[in-house]
A and B are shown apart, each in its own frame.
Chain A
Amino acid sequence: MKSSVITFPGSNCDRDMDVALKKFGFNNQMVWHNDNELPKGDLVILPGGFSYGDYLRCGSVASKSKIMKSVIDFANSGGLVMGICNGFQILVETGLVPGVLLRNKYLEFICKNVFVKIDNKDNPYFKNLDKEVLELHIAHNEGNYFCTNDQLKEIEDNNQIAIYYSNEKGQTYEKDNPNGSTKNIAGIFNKRKNVLGMMPHPERMIDKYLSGEDGSLFFKNLIKNIK
């Protein structure tokens, strides 16, 4: 299974993602933002970080960088594209997934473990995962997902919500919402469900010494689904 992780100026979870992908059997390649062509592969990842220093708006400058044209083409042809944290912010700026990401409700950066309830398993990312709730890690300042009521209706009608912030049991109360996101939304698909944007970092949860191991479950399942 071939994957590519794009490095933008200011990306800082690119190495962590590379380590995680390789650990679970991906043949991963790092791709520079200024390249024209994506290498052939099954999965493209836009990693976390502060691409272009978050200047203008998080993700907005990166969404216009050279490589993104071929990432967008790849996504439109049905290829798997996953944006984590700053990668999610880049995805919303490209319009590949709907909505925007605002500053966290309490105006503070948050770094902690959260639980997320998987809403939809009819997609290559979560299919066959034998857990309904995952413990993942967030670290962001702008993860407050927002969309208009019309957009929300469309997203819900199309089953585009991937994961919600929840408690351990998968209940999605307001108190389990760390950043003020609309409807506790933590991750979202495009209509075809080949593009996934999410705030939590599965790559930070890949062995028992780190914050947890649910990231391992996610990657193991992902590579099985792609095979």
Chain B
Amino acid sequence: MEINEKIAIDHGLKKDEFKKICELLKRTPNITELGIFSAMWNEHCSYKSSRLHLKKLPTKGKRVIQGPGENAGVIDIDDGDAIVFKIESHNHPSFIEPYQGAATGVGGIMRDVFTMGARPIANLNSIHFGSPQNKKTKNLLRGVVHGIGGYGNCMGIPTVAGQTSFDSSYNGNILVNAMTLGLVKKDKIFYSKAAGLDKPVIYVGSKTGRDGIHGASMASASFDEKIEEKKPTVQVGDPFTEKLLLEACLELMSGDSVIAIQDMGAAGLTSSSIEMASKGNLGIEINLNKVPCRESKMTPYEIMLSESQERMLIVLENGKEDLAKKIFDKWNLDFAIIGKTTNTKNIELYFDNKQVAKIPINTLVENSPMYDRKWKKTKLPKKNKIKKETLTKLNIKDLLKKILSHPNISSKEWIWQQYDHTVMGDTIQKPGGDSGVVRVHGTNKAVATTVDSSAVYCWAHPLTGGKQVVCESWRNLISVGATPIAITNCLNFGSPENEDNMGEFVECVEGIREACEYLKFPVVSGNVSFYNQTKEVGIKPTPAIGGVGLIKDYNQMITMDFKEINNLVLIIGKTEGHLDQSLFARSILDEKNGPPPEINLFNEKNNGETLLQLIDNNLIKSAHDISLGGIATAISKMCIKSNKGFEFNKMNHLMSEIEYLFSEDQGRYIIEINPKNFKKVTEILEKNSVHFDELGKIIDNFMIVNQMTKVTIDELKSYNKNWLDNYMSS
């Protein structure tokens, strides 16, 4: 077949990219080579629009063992233990085929983690759907939840936290971001860098089939009406095989046979072989006839581009082949020696005794395109003037009902009850709290983890939004008594070729950078997903941040349920009454303009660190950060979780009661303390110049907001619990 510009364009390459390929090769590529270039140079694999900006993120810290660039990031949690973690998107396939798309997203991220030698100990997910009224939403939600559960439950890894939101901007492009944490000994971490010549290259796991061909290219393009035709590009998952692969790989890695290991994720055999060789500054030679295939007559092109799941590529020490084969035989997995490392710095492929591709590896990696895309700055919107009369007309009980049953606030129990969150016997904080917490097996330590995003804030002002998401992650970790260590990010945006979308990306990244740098909360891994766009309409910018923190002694872990009647409740951080972009303003007043709440990084850090100091001194009974829905929502949730009531003190602020209850000012936490510790607590707060308010006290059975407003806990529960249950069964 004669390769020309049109075929290159059909592969998702641009005209000038095809020209560059021909120049680099000094000839026209054949079809297999073109396929390889298109797989390596697409947005998903090459980060060509984002690389320039991602470089600015802080990636180092005293606990960082491995930053971005590997299969996952690694942080030190003392005593020779390390946590390996990463988040990844599987948005495009999940919209086309929700069950398999979501399932293979979960499978892929777990492989990234155990590739490094770590046993996965916790899964999380951040999933975003179109408006509940959109006719596709319900089935997509059901399919995604079944897919996530189907894969994670079978693997026996608990799903301990997550986030679900609904917004019409996701009507044509849902988001499915999956995150995994794994535990490894610091001296047993495996990397993807090949080393040494003539080392055997081993293929293990499932056989290669025709599924998922061009999956990564599909994820690098916008959707249009022909979307259904793309179904064959979605991979099919088999969690049982992955469970076997996990056990077999960990068994092999407990010895000293493995030089380098890389999972076959996006762009399958192509990207895994090229990445290992590239990092080791080596060449690689593969005999494609040796690759275990599921279907007959697969061509070199198909074998190289298949995204069949549950496969790994390993560079072994010489002479360890038999030992390795024995382990994979025990677990009934395919094992094949398919090639070797070379000193040519080329990837050379053979099929039926003929060379079918020869490409210098640097042309695929270092010489891949990098773009400085045009982008537009977003101005900080003007504040809205909400009339006092509008607010005083509203009934607080009515508002509580509306806010607590709002799709984005309502209880997500219907979702997380379908995820096994207790397997492995170390989950000590389940979904539904500020962070999921799992113990480090057999120790007094625990790891807290959370995943967050605030698309509305990012849409209104990307710079502030980017900062806010990082701060929210930081707060969620602190609220359970964990010291925040590092984050992973999944940056979900529209088309980078659109100046507005690109601007959102650039400024969100800048916000993330500022916050991470200030809070010393580095980014150790991540993923970018562009082209979340159908025709001309992109999603709201949705960077999802996955945070990880350490609890040194889990006896000191904090939960958000109120503990004891008559205990006092304070608010740390100042309430200014900022309503713009709050859930209240958007859903009750239908006011969509205005700036998001401001982020003050000094206060954020100071408030958080002071709360950790209070927790260290055993002065905190329960804590919860204040976010979407403001104080009223936060207190309601604490009541619901504990079956206890709350009485607000008489409010004596300049702002209206509604501004006080529903505003979303940042950097705030609710804390419960024993009255006898009031002096000790307030002294510490004052010493650290932390603003606090006395909010009220814990009582039985009722939430009493003021003389007019008294709500039973059962009422609060029904407001909060029923929406999703009813929606899914209607």
Contacts and interface: CB of A to CB of B under 8 A. Distances in A.
B65 interface: no
Contact of B240 (A52, A110, A211): A52
A204 B427 CA distance: 10
B418 A12 contact: no
Interface size of B as a range: 20 to 34
B425 A10 contact: no
Residue among A48, A52, A53, A55 with max Cβ neighbours from chain B (10 Å): A53
Given A109-B418, A111-B419, A139-B420, A13 B244 contact: no
B375 interface: no
Interface in A16-74: 16, 19-20, 48-50, 52-55
B155 interface: yes
Contacts of B424: 15-16
Contact of A111 (B154, B240, B418): B418
B425 A110 contact: no
Interface in A173-227: 201, 203-204, 206, 209-211
A55 B420 contact: no
B412 interface: no
A49 B156 contact: yes
Contact of A210 (B149, B420, B425): B425
Contacts of B425: 16, 19-20, 203-204, 206, 210
Nearest to A113: B422
Contacts of B154: 10, 12, 50, 53-54
Given A53-B239, A111-B417, A13 B422 contact: no
B554 interface: yes
Given A9-B332, A50-B240, A112-B417, A209 B156 contact: no
A108 interface: yes
A12 B155 contact: yes
A117 interface: no
A69 B418 CA distance: 34
B90 interface: no
Contacts of A209: 428, 439, 554
A115 to B, nearest CB: 16
B166 interface: no
Given A15-B424, A50-B154, A209-B554, A10 B243 contact: yes
A106 B570 CA distance: 43
B427 A139 contact: no
B156 A111 contact: no
Interface in B492-529: none
Given A12-B243, A109-B149, A110-B417, A53 B423 contact: no
B102 to A, nearest CB: 14
B419 A10 contact: no
B103 to A, nearest CB: 13
A204 B425 CA distance: 6
A86 to B, nearest CB: 10
Interface in B418-447: 418-425, 427-428, 439
Contacts of B417: 108, 110-112
Nearest to B150: A109
B692 interface: no
Given A12-B155, A15-B424, A53 B418 contact: no
Contacts of B554: 209
Interface residues of A, number: 30
Nearest to B431: A111
Contacts of B418: 108-111
A211 B156 contact: no
Given A53-B154, A209-B439, A9 B422 contact: no
A176 B153 CA distance: 23
B653 to A, nearest CB: 39
B420 A111 contact: yes
B408 to A, nearest CB: 22
A139 B422 contact: yes
Interface string B217-252: 000000000000000000000111101100000000
Contact of A12 (B421, B423, B428): B423
B719 interface: no
B238 A13 contact: no
B246 to A, nearest CB: 10
A111 B421 CA distance: 7
A206 B416 CA distance: 22
Given A53-B238, A139-B153, A9 B331 contact: yes
Contacts of B332: 9
B153 A13 contact: no
Nearest to A50: B154
B717 to A, nearest CB: 16
A199 to B, nearest CB: 13
Contacts of A201: 422
B530 to A, nearest CB: 33
Interface string B389-422: 0000000000000000000000000001111111
A109 B153 contact: yes
Contacts of B439: 209
Contacts of A48: 423
B156 A210 contact: no
A15 B418 CA distance: 22
A141 B153 CA distance: 10
A201 B158 CA distance: 15
Chain A CB count within 10 A is highest, among B149, B239, B425, for: B425
A111 B418 CA distance: 6
A50 B425 CA distance: 17
A165 to B, nearest CB: 15
Contacts of A139: 153, 420, 422-423
B419 A210 contact: no
Contacts of A108: 146, 417-418
Contact of B428 (A9, A10, A19, A210): A210
A12 B156 contact: yes
Contacts of A111: 153, 416-422
Nearest to B728: A108
A50 B239 CA distance: 10
Nearest to B426: A210
Nearest to A203: B425
A19 B426 CA distance: 11
Contact of A204 (B153, B416, B422): B422
Contacts of B331: 9
Nearest to B145: A108
B416 to A, nearest CB: 8
Interface in B193-215: none
A48 B156 CA distance: 9
Contacts of A203: 425
Contacts of B156: 12-13, 49-50
A105 B416 CA distance: 18
B154 to A, nearest CB: 4
A204 B428 CA distance: 11
A48 B424 CA distance: 11
Nearest to B157: A12
Residue with the highest number of chain A CB atoms closer than 10 Å, among B240, B416, B427: B240
B422 A137 contact: yes
A72 to B, nearest CB: 23
B123 to A, nearest CB: 13
Interface of B: 146, 149-150, 153-156, 238-241, 243-244, 331-332, 416-425, 427-428, 439, 554
Given A50-B153, A109-B420, A203-B425, 14 more contacts: A20-B425, A48-B423, A53-B240, A53-B243, A54-B154, A109-B149, A109-B419, A110-B417, A111-B417, A111-B420, A112-B417, A139-B420, A139-B423, A211-B422
Shortest Cβ-Cβ A-B pairs, 9 listed: A12-B156, A53-B240, A209-B428, A16-B425, A50-B154, A139-B420, A109-B418, A111-B420, A204-B422
26 contacts: A9-B243, A10-B154, A10-B244, A12-B155, A12-B156, A13-B156, A13-B423, A50-B153, A52-B240, A53-B240, A53-B241, A54-B154, A55-B240, A108-B146, A109-B150, A109-B418, A111-B153, A111-B416, A111-B422, A139-B420, A139-B422, A139-B423, A141-B153, A201-B422, A209-B428, A210-B428
